[in-house]
């Protein structure tokens, strides 16, 4: 069964991939980033089943999938709080399956995992070793959940190089990107648009309450700190009008500290060119929690203050030029 994942929270999608990655007869062939991409996603992946979640259900998408000739099954997961989903169509292709509120502790031989395999018509056994994904498809698993970037003087140019490298492989990014670039109000929107135009990665000036989506980048608003908080399985942007830190607003440390408080979240941090030491304390916290830290090298930096502070603190896993950092991020994403 070739399974396509509908738009859903990144953490849930990651756990579903984990539970299905070694199941004989089941091939997770892709993920949709928006409801409007169904025809293209089915056409390029050859999907037979659409896996949806009631917590982020779009009835229009479900109806379109039920009408699609190539889709033989729509499997809708729910947490049991939905006694009735308004407007849910009655269709032989549609199956509902109750799932736990969180799948973090769900084992491959757990009750939900077995039920999921049964609904997909898969064998009950799980392969002892993971099968390698086909080169033409995105990696089935990731080594991190969110990419966090801090930058200052010379940062816009370094970000352009980094984003171009991330997009250069031609595969969709399976993780969201959050960026704190030291910048005053009125200029962040233009930077986000420039990054999007040059790389193709959808980039936005962060707004309060904005939900992070994989493959998208979110830049701290000018003159406001960016914090990340969780709502259920989703990561949400919060704008903070608190005092400057490290003489900066927005400050990289504020963003990184909010991510360090999410103990189950795997963060990969990149510190790019910039003056001062903003980001060092946040990197220390994340490094202590097992996160990977990458820094821009001195030769390619306009100012080697921020990345140099992290590198000299002995908490960096690599010190590289932006193009090499992009390659390292890509490799880590498929780890």
Q: How confident is the model at residue 132 (pLDDT cuts 50, 70, 90)?
A: very low
pLDDT of residue 71: 94
- Catalytic: which of 182, 216, 225, 287? 182
CATH superfamily name and code, 146-333: Methylesterase CheB, C-terminal domain (3.40.50.180)
For residues 62 and 6, what is the distance between their CA atoms, to the nearest angstrom? Answer: 9
Catalytic residue flag (residue 34): no
73-78 and 146-151 as β-strands: parallel, antiparallel, unpaired?
unpaired
* Of 141 and 225, more confident: 225
Q: What is the mean pLDDT of residues 122-142?
A: 42
- Catalytic: which of 53, 240, 253, 278? 278
pLDDT of residue 25: 85
* Of 303 and 126, more confident: 303
How many angstroms separate the Cα of 250 from the Cα of each of 37, 147, 183, 197, 224?
Answer: 34, 17, 7, 24, 5
Residue 230 has pLDDT above 50, yes or no: yes
Residue 308 has pLDDT above 80, yes or no: yes
Using the Cα atoms of residue 59, residue 78, residue 104 and residue 233 in order, give the sign of their dihedral: positive
Q: What is the pLDDT of residues 173-196, one digit of tens each?
A: 889 999 999 998 899 999 999 999
Catalytic residue flag (residue 300): no
Contacts of 77 (CB under 8 A, 6+ apart): 51, 52, 53, 54, 96, 97, 98, 99
Q: Residue 249: what are its φ and ψ, rounded to 5°?
A: -155, 105
Comparing CA positions, the residue from 93, 169, 120, 95 lying closest to residue 21 is 120
Domain boundaries, the chain: 2-119, 146-333
Residue 140 has pLDDT above 50, yes or no: no
**Looking at domain 2-119, which of 1.10.8.620, 2.30.30.40, 3.90.660.10, 3.40.50.2300 is its CATH number?**
3.40.50.2300
Catalytic residue flag (residue 278): yes
- Catalytic: which of 27, 53, 145, 152? 152
Q: What is the pLDDT of residues 27-44, one digit of tens each?
A: 888 778 777 778 888 887
Question: Which H or E run contains 308?
Answer: helix 306-312
Residue 22 has pLDDT above 60, yes or no: yes
Residue 113 has pLDDT above 60, yes or no: yes
225-231 and 27-31 as β-strands: parallel, antiparallel, unpaired?
unpaired
The answer, as to whether pTM is greater than 0.75, is no
Share of the chain above pLDDT 70, in %: 91
Q: By mean pLDDT, which of 70-79, 122-131, 191-200, 246-255 is the weakest? A: 122-131
Residue 57 has a CB neighbour count (10 Å cut-off) of 20
Same fold, 2-119 and 146-333: yes
For residues 154 and 307, what is the distance between their CA atoms, to the nearest angstrom? Answer: 12
């Amino acid at each position: 069964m070739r399974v396509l994942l509908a738009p859903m929270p990144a953490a849930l999608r990651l756990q579903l991939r984990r539970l299905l990655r070694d199941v004989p007869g089941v091939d997770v062939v892709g993920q949709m980033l928006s409801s409007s991409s169904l025809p293209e996603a089915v056409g390029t992946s050859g999907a037979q089943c659409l896996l949806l979640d009631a917590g982020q259900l779009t009835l229009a998408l479900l109806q379109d999938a039920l009408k699609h000739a190539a889709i033989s099954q729509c499997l809708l997961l729910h947490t049991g709080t939905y006694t009735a989903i308004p407007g849910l169509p009655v269709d032989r292709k549609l199956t509902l399956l109750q799932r736990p509120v969180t799948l973090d502790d769900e084992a491959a031989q757990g009750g939900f995992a077995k039920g999921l395999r049964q609904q997909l018509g898969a064998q009950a056994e799980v392969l002892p070793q993971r099968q390698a994904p086909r080169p033409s498809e995105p990696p089935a698993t990731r080594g991190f959940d969110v990419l966090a970037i801090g930058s200052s003087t010379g940062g816009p140019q370094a970000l352009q190089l980094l984003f171009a490298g991330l997009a250069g492989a031609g595969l969709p990014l399976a993780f969201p990107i959050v960026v704190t670039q030291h910048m005053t109000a009125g200029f962040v929107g233009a930077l986000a648009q420039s990054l999007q135009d040059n790389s193709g990665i959808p980039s936005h000036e962060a707004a309060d309450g904005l939900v992070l989506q994989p493959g998208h980048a979110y830049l701290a608003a000018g003159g406001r700190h960016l914090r990340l908080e969780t709502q259920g399985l989703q990561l949400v942007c919060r704008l903070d009008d608190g005092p400057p830190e490290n003489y900066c607003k927005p400050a990289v440390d504020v963003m990184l500290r909010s991510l360090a408080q999410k103990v189950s979240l795997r963060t990969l941090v990149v510190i790019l060119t910039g003056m001062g030491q903003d980001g060092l304390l946040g990197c220390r916290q994340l490094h202590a929690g097992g996160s990977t830290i990458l820094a821009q090298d001195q030769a390619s930096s306009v100012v080697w203050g921020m990345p140099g502070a992290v590198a000299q603190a002995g908490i960096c896993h690599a010190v590289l030029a932006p193009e090499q950092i992009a390659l390292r991020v890509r490799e880590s994403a498929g780890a």
